[in-house]
Amino acid sequence: MAKTFYTEHDIEDLIKRGVMSLEVNDDVVLTDLAYEKARRLGMALHQQKAENPPAAPVRPYISKIQTHAQVPAAGPSVSSVSPQRSKPGGEDLRQRIRDAVTARMGAQVDPKLLDVIINRVLNDVGIK
């Protein structure tokens, strides 16, 4: 079945026609601006996942902090990596993270992409 996409202009048109509610499901997608416009104009959006806007990606790695109980026992744990034990510049830490991810994910990881991600995260937390 084809998906129906709504933009902010579509929401304005629906409101002008008197439509004050919209069923949002897997086949109905609102852009971010359409979602905001619907909220501003008072349109009721009926959806299964009420916590996130329809177009928002679900990112459990950002919204939830994993505890050791949630981490599977198989393979090395990245959460146990401590930056205090790493060499200056974080190369030891980078290598340990790289090894842990490769051990867990195997050949399905692109090494260049993995390096970019590791560098971005470590730079964001202040490890050069």
Q: What is the pTM of this model?
A: 0.40
Per-residue DSSP letters for 34-86? HHHHHHHHT-EEEES--SS-TTPPP-HHHHS---TTTS-SSS--GGG--GGGS
43 within 8 A of 14, measured Cβ to Cβ: yes
One digit per residue, pLDDT tens: the chain, 128 residues? 688 999 999 999 999 999 999 888 888 888 889 989 998 999 998 876 655 555 555 555 554 444 444 444 444 444 444 444 444 557 888 888 888 888 888 878 888 888 888 888 888 888 87
Q: What are the sequence ranges of the domains in the chain?
A: 1-64, 71-124
